[in-house]
Amino acid sequence: MDVKFSPRIALWGRLFFWILVAVTSVSVGLLSTRIDLSPRVESDFFFSTDDPALQSSRAIEELFPSSPRIVLAAISEDPHSKDTIARVAGLTKDLRSLSGVSSVLSLTSGPQSPSTVVDSPLWSRILLGDTPNASYLLVESEGPATSGLITSIEEVLEDHRRPGFELAASGVPYVVEQIRRALGRDLRVFSSAALIVFGLVILVVYRSAALVLGTLLTCSAASLVSLTLLSLLGIPIGLLTANLATIVFVLTLSHTVFLTSNWRHLQARTSRDEDDSWGEATLHEALRITFVASFWCLVAALLGFGSLLFATAKPLRDLGVSGAVGTLVAIIMAYGLYPAFLRRGRRRSVDATHLSTPTARTVFRMPSPRWVLPSAALALFASFGLSRLDTDPSLLDYFAPDREPGRGLSTIDAGIGSSPLYLVVGPPEGETLDSPAAGVALQSLQRELDADPDVGTALTAAVIVEEAKLNPLALMLSWRRVLQLLESERFDGIAHRFVTPDRKHAFIALSMHEGSRNDRRQAVLGRLRARVDGAGLQTEHVGGLYQLQGTLSDLVGSSLRKELGGLLLCFLVVAWILSRTLRVALAMTLCLASIPWILLGTLGYLGRPLDIISTPAVNVAIALGIDAMIHLAAAVRRFRATGSSVVESWSEARQQQRPAILGAMAILAAGFAIFALSSFPPTRVFGGLVTVGLLLSAFFALQVLPTLASWLPRNSSSAGTTT
């Protein structure tokens, strides 16, 4: 086999290489000096500013302004003992002294005395809850609860911890800060460890230091340039884009693996000239034949990420833009930087005669059809697990239950609830909220909310009125008069926190249980709205982290289904254009669909929820499955163009591409398996899904797809014969 060499193409290739080196150098400079790569995780970062869910939460904030609140639990054998009360008093004092803390409510700060809390409708709800061995402290910040403030609070808690006096923390600012820390820590530690493992496995597979260095530098450059471009586009590192660097690294690595495999195969099958043009010619030919498949991999990936641009949730749109940018950068870097290292790569000794002279025993031996039925059975079995898949995980699922902060968060969740939910309701038709009818409606609603199993703590205007009527003088006052008194400075205007001055809007603050929740959040919200309607009131706004998480979970679940369906349809078209055979296109699409089908079904059987952090693992698994199948189909088309039969083409293509597919699987699986050792559950799920997806993609590409795509009727003369 002879290949041609073009000096002009080589010159342009070297020029393009140095341009990319300059771009990478600028990216490194920007990332090290001006760009913050720490993950941004905020309670209202899930949606864009024009999203109805976020607008509802902000409408509530405008009507009833409040400060971020961190909830602490003081756990002891007897929360009312003198020793515990003294410790709570000292803790309250130290917390109040912190810069950025506006107020602290506890058994010793807020109520008249610790002894009155048990019989108080208000203080018993927020300071005692349903946990017999715990009391609670509510820390309000003056502005946004920064990472520095949370760190200071943690230091105070550490100073006050004693045997028999345990402390735990919760609240939206605390939870999102813990997620941010865990995500950032795991990305730094495990990504670095995975990089080392990638390098070691590449060295074992390639046995060339130049190729190892080239692969790692090329993939790292693609990740760095992608992060820089996204920063310039105004897309921060968030929940779903936190794994972008790893995704881009993997996409680039896939191109380099197949390019290296085709290059070595061409070296073994071409006649070597005495001058140096032979090496350049084989390299350019490898670039040409590999780019055809890489181009269609690019198209399929862009279609997959592009489908996310129409999602409602902002993180999904950000992932769509980030994935599209990363996909383009990956192929540019793979074909612009990596060839320079291939020129210096040491060629492994290969028996050229063996490869260039195919035999029926080595080339035309197809995988056994016996793998098709077990694969179909596995997919069928996984389909029953899909109905069990939970795409609405609780906040507790983000942390290991046997260590902090998961252990403390579970304690607070069981006592008073851990996820805030806010409702704004209107009065009955033709009434105002200070009317007797509204008073009766709010009192009825309060009883309904207290009885709801998913509600940890419920606070309405009915609670503060009931608290006020503990004073015997208030027993004779009407509902309207009590509200008027509670608006005065004498009572710190507490009524304004629950009822607007025009008496048209009432605020309901709920703290929801997460650990004991059996229904989806949207189902719980529907039940609570029904309770509001049943009391004769009207629901005007719903907001808070509980509502935002519920809406996002539904959006992630529906977007995942739509994305997979749209991607498979697009891939069917791409596969048909590439293979020019509808049967082959259907076989490729069926094999590709089996990968996420089995992954998600298995996740459902294991009872592990699919959270928004681990969701991109499905995209990575699909992208890798697409790459393997497209490169295999492109090789089949090349062999068909030489006159080989269908069976011969698939068999020889399978043998040629098998080292690349198995090599990519080994390299990537070894790297992603490290993520399964993380202490952060979403990272473990992410690593596990990608690792299993890699094994499945290699299996379906090498064992199932050739059998399905090359099936011919028994009376075909070309089946199983050689030319």
SS3 state of residue 512: strand
pTM: 0.79
Which residue in this structure is represented by tokens 């369906």?
565
Residue 22: φ, ψ to 5°: -65, -45
CB 609 within 8 A of CB 391: yes
d(C-alpha 462, C-alpha 443), whole Å: 5
Query: The tokens of 76 are what?
Result: 């002891």
pLDDT reported for residue 355: 36
Task: For residue 267, give the 3-state DSSP assignment.
Answer: helix
Q: How big is the chain, counted in residues?
A: 723
Domain range annotation of the chain: 67-170, 178-387+551-709, 402-543
DSSP string, 638-657: HHHHTT--HHHHHHHHHHHH
From first CA to last CA, the distance across the chain in angstroms is: 18
Up-side HSE of residue 306: CA atoms within 13 Å toward CB?
A: 11
Beta-bridged to residue 106, according to DSSP, are 109
CATH T-level fold of 67-170? Alpha-Beta Plaits (3.30.70)
**Assigned token pair, 193:** 């460890």
Mean pLDDT, contiguous 10-residue spans, the chain (723 residues): 53 78 87 70 54 75 85 91 93 93 91 89 88 90 85 93 91 85 78 80 81 89 89 75 78 87 77 54 84 86 75 70 90 91 60 38 56 84 86 85 83 89 89 89 93 93 88 78 80 83 92 89 93 92 87 74 75 83 87 89 87 78 82 87 83 86 83 80 86 89 85 40 34
pLDDT of residue 713: 39
> Which residue, chain included where needed, has tokens 């939206």?
172
How far apart CA 450 and CA 466 sit, in angstroms, is 14
DSSP letter for each residue of 376-432: HHHHHHHHHHHTT--SS--GGGGS-TTSTTHHHHHHHHHHT-SEEEEEEEEPSTT--
User: How many contiguous H segments (helices) and E segments (strands) does the chain have?
Assistant: 24, 8
Contact 24, 224 (CB under 8 A): yes
For residue 69, which of 373, 457, 485 has the smallest C-alpha distance? Answer: 457
Please state, in angstroms and rounded to a whole number, the distance separating the CA atoms of residues 440 and 545. 29
Residue 583's pLDDT is 84
Q: How many Cα neighbours within 13 Å face the side chain of 452?
A: 30
How far is the C-alpha of 534 from the C-alpha of 186, rounded, in Å? 47
Question: How many Å apart are CA 526 and CA 503, to the nearest integer?
Answer: 25
Q: Of 675, 665, 677, which is closest to residue 703 (Cα–Cα)?
A: 665
* Rounded CA separation 290/635 (Å): 9
Torsion of the alpha carbons at 215, 221, 222 and 226, rounded to the nearest 10 = 160
CATH assignment of 178-387+551-709, among 3.40.50.720, 3.40.50.300, 1.20.1640.10, 3.90.10.10: 1.20.1640.10
SS3 710: coil
